[in-house]
Amino acid sequence: IFDMWSEADEQELADCSKYDDLKTLEQSSIFSMDCDKILETQGTPRHRYRPKYLTVSDLAKQHWCEQQLLYDLSPEVYLIRALPEMKVNLKETPEQSETKEKGSDIHLAREMEIQVPVPVKVESKEDEWAVKLLNLQFAVMAFHKGCKLAREIPVFGMPFGGDIFIFGIIDELQFDLQQYTIAISELKTRKSCHPPKKGQQEKDEFQVGLYAQLFNELVQGKMNKDLMAIHLQLNMETQLSQGLKSHINGLGTNFRSANCSLGSVVDTVLNQVQSMICIKEVKIEYIHQDTKAVISTVDTALDTNYIQKVFTEQQQWWNGQRGTRGVEVEDCWKCHFCKFSELCEWREIMAAKQGR
């Protein structure tokens, strides 16, 4: 499997630190506008924050709390609500960084059990997407070679005939060639040794279900080169860089010709994915970060109707067809863990409604 890097990554890191500085500003002025009014004047959330494509992680965060996602995406929106005495410091605490790092290490160790990532330099966005396609192709090859597993599989598409392009990476696909089934499996690491609350588990089930839907629609042939070119602003005629071509030539795939454009990779891989079968079963495994012990598992059938219902409502928000919502009253425990709770306008609205 390829692990891509580019010189632009370093610039992006520099930009991130500037963004962090902005996030730690202590705001001294107060305005009375609310988030949705600001957004109205500056375009839909989709145009503003994700003009090309959303990730499955964006939608999982939205499932947790849409208001929190908005604050996370848009420092200027919450900063204008911050009172001078509020210290809005959104930098990760050392404890949060450690938790994240431990989770990444466990995921990497899992991946390394079956494959070693090969660093590949990418020189254009077309190279980047070719690498994603090739990593998807490795899963197809694993399935047809009789392997039991594939890990870190990129999937993408426009689920349920919607107009938003989504990208994500599946943790693991499990192939049972005797039963001729494919199950999707997601590993979640937890700092606590207790099983997740219902709200956390629902978010995880939605996330995995959406991955499965993207995969299934690829198998059903619902993605094509033209849709990718339009939504991702890719030029399918672009030749891949020499460095990437030389990696491809070493793979033993059928991309050997000197004329290796992104379009030829897309056509080949999308065609090959259709030789697989759809996912029907979803598994989630919760593991304790420190002991690596399994805390709990979820093993369930894919609930496409639920995924579609949630996704359709989410899509309305991204397209500016409705305002922003926070958590429902029964989920207000989430606010205790939220860094925005002091200035959250959704909480103000809910409190006002209850006081009526």
Instruction: Provide, rounded to whole angstroms, the least separation between the CB of residue 198 and ligand SF4.
Output: 15
The residue (of 200 and 341) whose beta carbon lies closer to ligand SF4 is 341
Tokens representing 113 are 């059990």
Q: In the window 37-66, what residues touch ligand SF4 (CB under 6 A)?
A: 65
Measure the CA–CA gap between 316 and 339, rounded to whole angstroms.
26
* Among candidate residues 218, 158, 233, 160, the one with its CA nearest the CA of residue 184: 218
Q: In the window 100-159, what residues touch ligand SF4 (CB under 6 A)?
A: none
CB atoms within 10 A of CB 295: 18
The residue written with tokens 């375009």 in the block is 43
The residue (of 77 and 269) whose beta carbon lies closer to ligand SF4 is 77
With vertex at residue 126, the alpha carbon angle to CA 121 and CA 127, rounded to the nearest 5 degrees, is 20
Q: In the window 183-202, what residues touch ligand SF4 (CB under 6 A)?
A: none
Cα-Cα-Cα-Cα torsion 48, 49, 53, 58, nearest 10 degrees, comes to -140
Q: Which of 83, 344, 348, 352 binds ligand SF4 (CB under 6 A)?
A: 344
Q: Is 346 in the site for ligand SF4 (CB under 6 A)?
A: yes
* Among candidate residues 143, 302, 155, the one with its CA nearest the CA of residue 223: 155
Q: Which of 27, 62, 68, 207 binds ligand SF4 (CB under 6 A)?
A: 68
Q: Which of 131, 166, 223, 327 binds ligand SF4 (CB under 6 A)?
A: 327
Binding segment toward ligand SF4, per CB under 6 A, in 25-33, 89-97, 167-175, 327-335: 327-335
With vertex at residue 346, the alpha carbon angle to CA 342 and CA 352, rounded to the nearest 5 degrees, is 95
Instruction: Provide, rounded to whole angstroms, the least separation between the CB of residue 164 and ligand SF4.
Output: 22
Q: In the window 297-326, what residues touch ligand SF4 (CB under 6 A)?
A: 326
Cβ-closest position to ligand SF4: 326
Tokens representing 147 are 């392997």
Helices within 240-332 (DSSP H only) = 242-249, 262-273, 304-318
Site string for ligand SF4, 71-110 (x = CB under 6 A): x---------------------------------------
Measure the CA–CA gap between 280 and 269, rounded to whole angstroms.
22
Could you tell me if 135 and 2 are in contact, meaning their C-beta atoms sit under 8 angstroms apart? yes
Binding segment toward ligand SF4, per CB under 6 A, in 32-40, 141-149, 300-308, 336-344: 336-344
Query: Given the rule CB under 6 A, which residues bind ligand SF4?
Result: 65, 67-68, 71, 326-327, 334-335, 338, 340-341, 344, 346-347
